[in-house]
Structure 1
Amino acid sequence: MTIMGDNSSYHQIRDEMRIMPITSGQAKSAISVSSGVIFAITVRTVRYSKANRKQILAVCFVSLLLFANFRYNQPSKFRFSNNNVNAVCTLPEIDPFDDEIMKLNWHPRPVVCENTPPFMFIDRKGFIHLNSTTLSSEKLSNSDIDCTYQHVERQFDDDVIFKKEVRFVEPEYIECDFVVARCRDKGGKKLYESLLINVNPHTDKSIRNESQQQLSVLVLGIDSLSRNGALRKLPKTMKYFEDVLGGISFKGYTKVGENTFPNLVPLLTGKKADPRELPHVWGQHYFDDYPLIHHNFSSAGYVTLYAEDWPAFSTFNYASKGFIVPPSDHYIRPMYLGMKKMQPVVTSLDQVFLFLEDKNIKMKSSSLCFKNQLKHHMFLEYFKRFVDVYRKKAKFAFTWMNEISHDYSNFLEIADQDFVDFLIWLKEDGHLNNTVMMLMSDHGSRTEAIRNTAAGRIEVRMPLLSIALPEHFKHQHPVLVETMIHNSKVITTPFDVYAFMDDVLHKKFDNQLQSIIDGKLPRGISLFRKIPKERTCADAGIHELFCACFTSHPVDKTSKLVLEIANASVTKINAMLSDVKHKCAELSFSRVEDAQLIESNFKRAVENEEFTLRNLLFKPKENKRKYLVLFKAAPSGALFEVTANVENDDVIKLGDIIRTNKYGTQSQCVEDRVLRNYCFCI
């Protein structure tokens, strides 16, 4: 048996030997060169052996053979078409309430936060006040307490400082976005401490007005959420977004990378998270030189917001440095760093406590809270204040929530009604009149047991994307709306969403614009441009690992071939860990959890093939069988998913090996973000 591992996900092959195929142009050149050589040989033959006709005939015969070889003996050009009469890709129809998934679905208890009354607040105009209701309930007067606030000031992208405490006489205007507020009694005992939110319109640039042509764009992103997952965990939100706001949900929206970073980079830059397209992909770098679409909107006179929670794991900070200069006019990261500074121990243990909550162990105060507030409430409050402060101004807001959904998707339903309330406020307060509203995710659940079900393996590849357009826009551009509805039923990607947002920014609402350029489909096609049903995953820049357009059938988990694939994968993992074997345990195969045979939908289309001699002599190779194997390794208990190409029951090539459950603290002894998926620290 021949086994060849493909380590391209970690090691890049620096020296490659390439055998280039001969193109038609090269073949013609070769024929021309060969004819010249033959002519020269003929001349020399005639010159030195005029009487030798046999040699002349031999040369002519060789010439004919060479010509026939170049003309008719080209490599076989077998053509295949997708065995689907409706389209190249049949989008999978997966039941959101699949029995296997519903076994893992449960409803969390109502979240309980600290029962500390709020002594202070900042109103929507930016003025800080004492809370008269709290003072009354606590039987206190203004003279009984001493209250202060401190500005939260950003220090690069991974730290904040709290400025000098300020005693205030209300109402006092707050000239920053976040403050630490405290109240003490006359004896100096702390009665209250919290972090308050404001949006201070500090930008000096000229901000243009939004209009029916110059639309604002608001993005509410939720990490690790498939469209089906949203139907399960956010049913009220999805119903309101689709039924009331008229949101169009894209059933073919497909991820282009494994985790958040390689999916958000194309969404925000239009480029692939690859060093061949961008200066650096990850590591200890700053991302200020990335061509984020925030900068495009900002240059066009928009005010911008970038809000992402969970600072240790945010997209541009996980194992990287983030930004030297904030990427937007308003930036939520200092708020979360302020929380960490105020509660360093509790914040560090949040994920431990959340794990216990996921096991239905009741905690005094939930890890989803910061003191007396739900964290996602604070997130949405900042979003609302940004929208409200810049009412009727052109806005671009990109917001991304991680903590509530990344590891434990069942907690997401806690926020369902809160999302609905937020959307209702946007609509009824007129903020959606000239706004494109997007509800979306980067991928489905990657690290839970749901991923390891047959339905979950499809869902992880197909994140949520739903877009609501202003009512007047629908009436003015009905063809564009029809086009988007059409596109909701074909393959789409983050590259397409970037192109769509770019169209909104530059007001490209021309119905006649074509999606095909120079006879080819571009990788990213705006959702305003009709995407052909014949588009393939390759056309769209979707790697085979992430393409959902396949069929699979369960096979015997104990078969010799399946076990060989699993064992070969463990060998490959240990080879990847060779440089850190002094830190990481050697893994061994434990058992196969699931095995699937993946089959292609293609068949040979003989009627469209060009004639060659080889087509008569050779039959096309059968598609290599491809297996998807989910196996468990010891001693870590890690679950790994691997694809393997198989021919004649021999494993020809192993694909990338992806971990499908959390590694937690198992790999804290290594810094490499790839090896963390595999290492079990000794």
Structure 2
Amino acid sequence: MNVCSLPVYDYWHPKVMRYVDYDFDPTVSCDKNFVPFTRLVDGKWDVVEEKKGMNCSARCISGIDDWKLNITDWMAPGMPVSCEFLEAVCWEGSREVYGYIHSQVIPKKPTKPLKNPDAPNVFVFLFDSMSTGLAKRSFPKTLSALSSRLEAVEFPFVNKVGENSQPNGMALWFGKLIEPIMGKNYGGSDVKVDWEKEVYCRNHLNHSIFEDFQNEGFMTLQIDDWGNQMVNYPNCKGFAEAPTHHYMHPFQMVYERFGTNITKNHLKGALCREERHAVFEYFQQFVDAYKDTPKFTWMWINTVAHDHFNGFMRVDKEMAEIIDRNADMFDNSFVIFLGDHGFRIGMRRFLQTEIGSLEMNNPYLSISIPKKIRQKSQAVLEIMRQNSRKLQTHFDTRATILDILKYQPADSFNNRTLLEISGERGHSYLRRQPSLPRTCGRLPIQPEYCICQVEKVTVVDENLRNRLGILLIDHIHDLLDAANFSSMCEKFEFRETTSLLHYGHTNHSETSHNYEITVMADAPSFAQFQTILKHNKKTSQVSFGNIVRLDRYGKTGDCTNNNKYEKMCFCKGMTSVQRWWYRFEKWCMYLDDEVQDWLAIA
């Protein structure tokens, strides 16, 4: 872990392209003639076209905290609207025939006076599960616009710092490590977490990066297209109050939980409208409302490709249009386009390839800087390009954002000297970084996620494969037992070790050996687990790293109410219908894998 050969590969390799479908679009048969029955314009809502026998009403929505809402009584058309989110519903008799959530941005005053009137905007666009390779294949128009129009610099060697969105998001928003690093057995160091679950989940959160911008006088926006956003999943308290001046979470709460049945379906695609379209509209409303005010926005898109390997394809044109529509504004702003991690669940055959296992841990990142800064001097672009050729993490991205906000303005963005920010784990891309080699052992990166390339040799010894696979299943049971979840979860039965890779060529005279292992459990779960392990042949001692779940497991671990252990649990209390449906989905995914392989061979 203290040396790093950075991964360089063909993003369009045939082993990848066999899974790529540029025509994927679940809305291809949607109603392209649909026009909303209602509208919200200039603070007033009304019905666009009255229809005989149809009765329409609307109600205002606002947030109390991340789990509770204020919902007003229904109001008639023509009434003034003083809220940012409005659910409009129409009935024919008692039957719901139309539901729609409108949005508007009502300008507010900044939290504190603006410290720097010339402060540039900072816009962050985060697409969940977007690896470097997936971005390259899925966003040709967007990446071309960022590169040619905004001179964006790509950082192809970013390493995720946690398995899923939450640990990576906590690094970006709060600068905190919430997954331990067990690197001692692999040439690195063991690192304890900054926050235990009791801190980041059982208590309300504050002191986020949004607060930093508000304290500098920026107007702020956070928008997400999923109710169980990063700070709330699976059942965490999240924010006690809106972390930004404008916060889209109440919209998602109505759409997913508190709205009428028909409203809950209006963004499912049948009307050619999906969750992200509402997000894009709210973003545009925000930037239009604060044209001459420094802005900080963070858009987090979950629903497009978290569960769909080809989901980003249909968004490329839309993102390119957003860039084109706001070209002048973006040209004078910092624009950050990134993923939190790569595609990581489902597509078993792809994830088991060398490229798939790499992309899972390698989120995309590009950053563009304001035109007036890059025209004044190419030095900042040059240092960014130098840093782009090194291993980086989300902690470094966060340090860069803080540098943009708090430190560079005093030097007109001309300072390239090393900056150590108190309490932060990362280093700004706009400056020289520490001269020590940047490796997984020196950076806050768990060894099981490390993208640095080492030689791996397939182990064919069936006895060893089975023995280590059974030990991994036993280890998972031990973890559940230690966390007092054993009584809730069925015991896994070992089915097979689908992959066992030895780090480096096997030297039988050596006592200690490191492996990457992937195991499948037997029915009813057919769970797929992956980790790294260290095996001492002399003592027969085996130590395991963090456990990664590779297959989709839905709500089968919900009984734990714990995002660390839900992936390791197949709950005993599931109904026969739930079990049948889980098995059916597993069978469909298996058939899909087989079809993909057959098509590739054909």
Indicate whether the TM-score tops 0.5: yes
Structure 1 counterpart of 2:313, one-letter code: E
CA contact (8 A) 1:552 1:596 kept: no
Structure 1 counterpart of 2:570, one-letter code: F
Match of 1:646? 535
Task: State the alpha-carbon separation in 1 of the partners of residues 340 and 198 from structure 2.
Answer: 17
Task: State the alpha-carbon separation in 2 of the partners of residues 389 and 581 from structure 1.
Answer: 53
1:117 aligns with 2:35: yes
Match of 1:49? none
Match for residue 397 of structure 1 among 297, 303, 310: 297
SS at the partner of 1:312?
coil
CA contact (8 A) 1:269 1:293 kept: yes
Structure 2 counterpart of 1:337, one-letter code: M
Task: State the alpha-carbon separation in 1 of the partners of residues 475 and 84 from structure 2.
Answer: 49
Q: CA deviation at 1:390?
A: 0.9
- Which moves more between the two structures, 322-331 or 540-549? 540-549
Task: State the alpha-carbon separation in 2 of the partners of residues 203 and 104 from structure 1.
Answer: 49
Match of 2:84? 177
Match for residue 105 of structure 2 among 176, 194, 199: 199
Task: State the alpha-carbon separation in 2 of the partners of residues 425 and 127 from structure 1.
Answer: 26
Q: CA deviation at 1:126?
A: 4.5
Structure 1 counterpart of 2:502, one-letter code: L
Structure 2 counterpart of 1:94, one-letter code: Y
TM-score (norm 2): 0.82
1:385 aligns with 2:385: no
CA contact (8 A) 1:644 1:651 kept: no
The 1:557–1:287 alpha-carbon spacing in structure 2 relative to 1, beyond 3 Å, is farther
CA contact (8 A) 2:46 2:77 kept: no
Deviation digits for residues 373-417 of structure 1, max 9, x if unmatched?
A: 221111111111111111121111111111212122212212121
Match of 2:141? 236
Deviation digits for residues 630-664 of structure 1, max 9, x if unmatched?
A: 11111211111121123448454222221111111
Match of 1:605? none
SS at the partner of 1:179?
strand
CA contact (8 A) 1:557 1:563 kept: no
Structure 1 counterpart of 2:548, one-letter code: I
Task: State the alpha-carbon separation in 1 of the partners of residues 475 and 171 from structure 2.
Answer: 30
CA contact (8 A) 1:254 1:547 kept: yes
Task: State the alpha-carbon separation in 1 of the partners of residues 544 and 364 from structure 2.
Answer: 30
The 1:342–1:259 alpha-carbon spacing in structure 2 relative to 1, beyond 3 Å, is closer
The 1:254–1:623 alpha-carbon spacing in structure 2 relative to 1, beyond 3 Å, is farther
Task: State the alpha-carbon separation in 2 of the partners of residues 152 and 273 from structure 1.
Answer: 33
Structure 2 counterpart of 1:340, one-letter code: E
Deviation digits for residues 573-596 of structure 1, max 9, x if unmatched?
A: 122233333332211211122222
Match of 2:58? 149
Task: State the alpha-carbon separation in 2 of the partners of residues 423 and 398 from structure 1.
Answer: 15
- Which moves more between the two structures, 221-230 or 306-315? 306-315
1:94 aligns with 2:9: yes
- Superposed counterparts of 1:52-131, under 5 Å: 88-106=3-21, 107-111=23-27, 112-113=29-30, 116-123=34-41, 126-128=43-45, 130-131=47-48
The 1:482–1:333 alpha-carbon spacing in structure 2 relative to 1, beyond 3 Å, is same
CA contact (8 A) 1:557 1:594 kept: no
The 1:426–1:495 alpha-carbon spacing in structure 2 relative to 1, beyond 3 Å, is same
Which one has a bigger Cα radius of gyration? 1
Match of 2:212? 296
Match of 1:12? none
The sequence identity of aligned pairs, in percent, is 24
SS at the partner of 1:150?
strand
Match for residue 513 of structure 2 among 625, 632, 636: 625
Match of 2:591? none
CA contact (8 A) 2:97 2:262 kept: no
Structure 2 counterpart of 1:158, one-letter code: W
Task: State the alpha-carbon separation in 1 of the partners of residues 210 and 260 from structure 2.
Answer: 31
Match of 2:188? none
1:677 aligns with 2:567: yes
Q: Mark the runs of 5 or more structure 2 residues left unpaired by the alignment.
A: 180-191, 573-602
Match for residue 121 of structure 2 among 199, 216, 228: 216
Match of 2:240? 324
Aligned residues: 544
The 1:231–1:533 alpha-carbon spacing in structure 2 relative to 1, beyond 3 Å, is farther
Q: CA deviation at 1:152?
A: 0.8
The 1:265–1:333 alpha-carbon spacing in structure 2 relative to 1, beyond 3 Å, is same
Q: CA deviation at 1:284?
A: 5.0
CA contact (8 A) 2:60 2:71 kept: yes
CA contact (8 A) 1:590 1:634 kept: yes
Match of 2:526? 637
SS at the partner of 2:329?
coil
Structure 2 counterpart of 1:496, one-letter code: D
Deviation digits for residues 217-274 of structure 1, max 9, x if unmatched?
A: 1101011110101112222222222233221110111111111111111111223226
Match for residue 657 of structure 1 among 547, 554, 563: 547
CA contact (8 A) 2:107 2:289 kept: yes
Task: State the alpha-carbon separation in 2 of the partners of residues 253 and 183 from structure 1.
Answer: 48
The 1:656–1:328 alpha-carbon spacing in structure 2 relative to 1, beyond 3 Å, is same
The 1:370–1:174 alpha-carbon spacing in structure 2 relative to 1, beyond 3 Å, is farther
The 1:670–1:466 alpha-carbon spacing in structure 2 relative to 1, beyond 3 Å, is same
Match of 1:267? 172
- Superposed counterparts of 1:552-571, under 5 Å: 552-571=455-474
Task: State the alpha-carbon separation in 2 of the partners of residues 499 and 288 from structure 1.
Answer: 20
Deviation digits for residues 88-132 of structure 1, max 9, x if unmatched?
A: 522101222233333332342351446643122234x5454543x
- Superposed counterparts of 1:36-55, under 5 Å: none
SS at the partner of 2:489?
coil
CA contact (8 A) 2:203 2:237 kept: yes
Match of 2:67? 158
Deviation digits for residues 121-151 of structure 1, max 9, x if unmatched?
A: 234x5454543xxx3xxxx58x997654321
SS at the partner of 2:194?
coil
Match of 1:492? 392
Task: State the alpha-carbon separation in 2 of the partners of residues 314 and 215 from structure 1.
Answer: 27
- Superposed counterparts of 1:357-396, under 5 Å: 368-369=268-269, 373-396=273-296
The 1:651–1:304 alpha-carbon spacing in structure 2 relative to 1, beyond 3 Å, is same
Match of 1:33? none
Deviation digits for residues 579-618 of structure 1, max 9, x if unmatched?
A: 3333322112111222222239xxxxxxxxxxxxxxxxxx
- Which moves more between the two structures, 580-589 or 400-409? 580-589
